Chain A
Amino acid sequence: MTVGALLIVLAFAAMLTSTVAFFLSARGREQYLSLARSGYHYFVVLTAAAVVLLFYYFISGDYSIKYVYEYSSSELPLFYLISAFWAGQQGTYLLWLMLLALLGYYIQRRGRQYTDWAMTFYGLINLFFLVVLMVLSPFEKLATPQAEGGGLNPLLHDPWMVVHPPIIFLGYAAVALPCVIAMAALAKKQYDDWWPIALAPAALGAVALAAGNIMGGFWAYKTLGWGGYWAWDPVENSSFIPWMTSVALIHGLLIERARGALRKTNLFMALFTFLLVVYGTFLTRSGVLADFSVHSFVDLGINRYLVGFMVGFSLLALALFVARSRGIKGPAMILATTSRDFSLLISVWLLTLIALMVLAGTSWPLITTIFGNPGTVDTAIYTRVTFPLAVVIGLFLGFAPFMLWGGETWRSLLKKIIPSAVGALVATVIAALAGVHSVSYLVYVLFAAFAFFSNLLALRKYFPGRLEAAGPQIAHFGFALMLIGILGSSAYDTGQKVKIDRGSSAKAFGLTFTYKGMAGEITTPNNEILLDVRDGSVSFEARPKLFWSRQQEGLMKKPYIIRKSLYDLYLAPEQIQDLPQAEGLVLKRGESRTMGGYTIRFAGFDQQAHAAGGPMHFGAKIEVTDSTGRSETVIPSVIFEPGKELGHNDVPLMSGLSKPLRLERIFADQGAVQLSIAGLTPASAPDRLIMEISKKPTMNLLWGGTILLLVGGLLSLRRRWRV
């Protein structure tokens, strides 16, 4: 057994001991509590040791370890050796486990009376990951140690891809906490004070999932070159769904904090969010969607454990919920339409509906399999079903900052929204003038702008002294910006394909693009395309990348983005086409042409004798006549072996002249040849760039909005964590 595998087995033993001891302690035998806690310490230390060991293998380049061999190579800088850790399934399970291990201390510190039960359920989760790591070990050795690794996917050579996975997995790990705390509350039938313990990790999960998804979108936009930031792919959806439900959970917990109401819903959402994470992991890692997604993982032999855990843990959580649900009682909701209570409840429903719709779409191949041939949904469906929900969210976000707990009269509420409603109307008129003509889009803009102005005005109260309390307003303000940015960049995205021969220019969106060739060869890693861009009187260089990756056995296309205040111009290279050199001098047999004072005639082919087995010369008899009437026949030739061209045998155009004449190509079927004469025939472009240029309006609003959403989320998280 390898050292790494041994660490995992020992961690499993420690975790098992700790979990059993926590269970016994939860059942009233408190003498086991210290054993449970020290067992947990050992588990964390052993897991951390495994993480350090794997990092060490990566950094030292130990290619006898299969996982290291598969995802790294010695030429990688340290930065990417770190990210190679989570480039494959094995490493991500270990990373996820490490984050779970650390977050377990939160429960032990703040779990109050729920600690023992919560740690028992939490232990089951950790044990599952340890089993996975035993079956699918990142420490597995290759039968033959290799001297060099296979390398890291060039798409992952990006700073965002170094931080994106740990943040997503931090989110996944964090949403396990509200789940096990809710299970503990159900087990103990104590529902009065579970919410403060659950709220902080729920907020951490929501913020981490938001950040992770946004980073993923940003990376896709600037790296993948298909032109978008969100593709509704199963892998994306499986982290989007728990993001939505975790935000729903936070909003529900805020009602519970203020009123004690909505307990049952919140307990359920806490369970549901984590179960969705498990289900998403199953969808993307079991191979069930392998025929439906471009970047799903394939089954690596852990399916039965994944399915077993998913089914087992879901049954446990849901059975607990069903068994207890009659006894969960709290104050009733206040449902006055003008109340903050009501709008928070609506937000819980809206976010959950979005999650359910995306869940249904992502699971569609499985659902349809039950009824016959499997089918996938067209990804356009996701925008269609989420669009009306986004409109309603905009409307409620516009009212949100002015609503009071318990409600008020409509008259007093409407009075408060007048300024932002006016602002929203003005913005809608501007949008209509700017080219938004669809009625549904105008309604969307109206409500999104309403949310924008309301939250902006609400921020005044916090500025400058109390900004740290303005998390929700800042986040909602950012979200309103995102809504507008998403509409502008997706519904009003226009593109055109340009084909530019080397040395030539093309015009698109008022700019002139000149293709000047490539910095290296197509096989050079990170090969840049040299483009000069002229924008009015300003000139600058654009450098999209296009190269063949040996590691991926595929063409990598990295776009170049020209950022303007109102829109992005997105230059996505598609391919470099080698051009036939047909613009030289093409002559049929007997044809002649006069160039630069010389008349050149193709008299016929000349197949020279050659030594048996040696290279063959295939020549063309060319009669050259100069302006004085002097005439001469020269024979340039192509040298080749069967199936392979070796070179050209150039001859002076005329004796005493320094202009070499080359036989470029032979068109045997047409009885024609292509000639080039240095200094006489124009050199034709050797290749052509094919590139999609698209104009994406309001990208800056979208990215600016995401930053504010995260800033607001972090401010709120800090407050929740301190309570």
Chain B
Amino acid sequence: MKAKYVIGGLIIVIFVIWGVTSFMSTTIRYVSIDEVQRSTGTVQVMGKVDFDRVVYDSEHSRLVFEITGLEKRTLNQRLKVIYSGVVPGNFDQATSVVAKGRYQEGAFMADQLLVKCPSKYQGLAEQAKKGEA
């Protein structure tokens, strides 16, 4: 009976170790905009879109734009993002975006784009409140 517990325990331990190492190896780190150029592999970066420099490259179906950092030290730093994929419908309203991808030859090649939007309803409600004030 003891042996059975030992074997069972061992299997579970091995599985958990394997699971945790898998998690570690696929972790996609958040980096700030100034760390991107030093990063290797897939990372994610958050920034504010410069809407004056958004170009849709319809030939390659990709979106080319620049983001600026969100921290004080990165506010004036720019990063060119090339996103190939379906443009999220609410991209135009993005207060900031999270791009997942890798840094390659001067640009961030993103394959996933997460758009952060202001909550419109709350905005509306606040406007209504302001209207009264």
Contacts and interface: CB of A to CB of B under 8 A. Distances in A.
A377 interface: yes
B39 to A, nearest CB: 11
Contacts of A548: 89
Interface stretch (B18-26, B47-55, B73-81, B101-109): B18-26
Given A70-B121, A554-B88, A556-B89, A144 B128 contact: yes
B27 interface: yes
A376 B27 contact: yes
Contacts of B129: 142-144
A555 B89 contact: yes
Nearest to A297: B119
A392 to B, nearest CB: 10
Interface string A544-572: 00001100111111000000000000000
Given A143-B128, A574-B86, A376 B19 contact: no
Contacts of A380: 26
A142 B124 CA distance: 11
Contact of A361 (B23, B58, B92, B128): B23
Nearest to A388: B15
A360 B23 CA distance: 8
Contacts of A146: 128
B82 interface: no
Interface in B23-57: 23, 26-31, 42, 44, 46
A388 B28 CA distance: 23
Interface in B77-133: 86-90, 92-93, 98, 114, 116-117, 119-122, 124-125, 128-129, 131-133
B98 to A, nearest CB: 6
A692 to B, nearest CB: 8
A553 B90 contact: yes
B124 A150 contact: yes
A375 B89 contact: no
Interface residues of B, number: 41
Given A66-B125, A69-B125, A142-B129, A353 B15 contact: yes
Interface in A371-392: 373-378, 380-381, 384-385, 388
A374 B121 CA distance: 29
Contact of A150 (B20, B29, B88, B121): B121
Given A335-B4, A353-B15, A142 B90 contact: no
Nearest to B124: A150
Contacts of A385: 19, 22
B120 A377 contact: no
B47 to A, nearest CB: 12
A364 interface: yes
Contacts of B46: 291
Contact of B12 (A349, A368, A374, A552): A349
Interface string A131-158: 0000000000011101000100000000
Given A69-B125, A143-B132, A144-B129, A553 B120 contact: yes
Contacts of A353: 12, 15
A384 B15 CA distance: 12
Contact of B125 (A70, A294, A381, A577): A70
Nearest to A69: B125
Contact of A378 (B1, B26, B30, B61): B26
A291 B98 contact: yes
Nearest to B131: A144
Nearest to A572: B86
A402 B45 CA distance: 53
A350 to B, nearest CB: 10
Interface in A340-359: 349, 353, 357
A375 B30 contact: yes
A364 B1 contact: no
B22 to A, nearest CB: 6
A690 interface: yes
Contacts of B29: 368, 373-375
A557 B86 CA distance: 11
A315 B12 CA distance: 27
Contacts of B30: 291, 373-376
A404 interface: no
A298 interface: yes
Nearest to A345: B8
B20 to A, nearest CB: 7
Interface in A9-54: none
Contact of B31 (A142, A373, A574): A373
A368 B131 contact: no
Which among A290, A378, A557 has the greatest number of chain B C-beta atoms within 10 A?
A378
Given A66-B125, A294-B114, A378-B26, 12 more contacts: A144-B128, A150-B120, A291-B98, A360-B23, A361-B23, A374-B29, A375-B28, A378-B42, A381-B23, A381-B26, A549-B89, A552-B90
Interface of A: 66, 69-71, 142-144, 146, 150, 290-291, 294, 298, 335, 349, 353, 357, 360-361, 364, 368, 373-378, 380-381, 384-385, 388, 497, 548-549, 552-557, 574-575, 577, 690
18 contacts: A69-B125, A142-B129, A143-B132, A146-B128, A150-B121, A150-B124, A294-B114, A349-B12, A364-B27, A368-B29, A377-B27, A381-B23, A384-B22, A553-B89, A553-B90, A553-B120, A554-B93, A557-B89
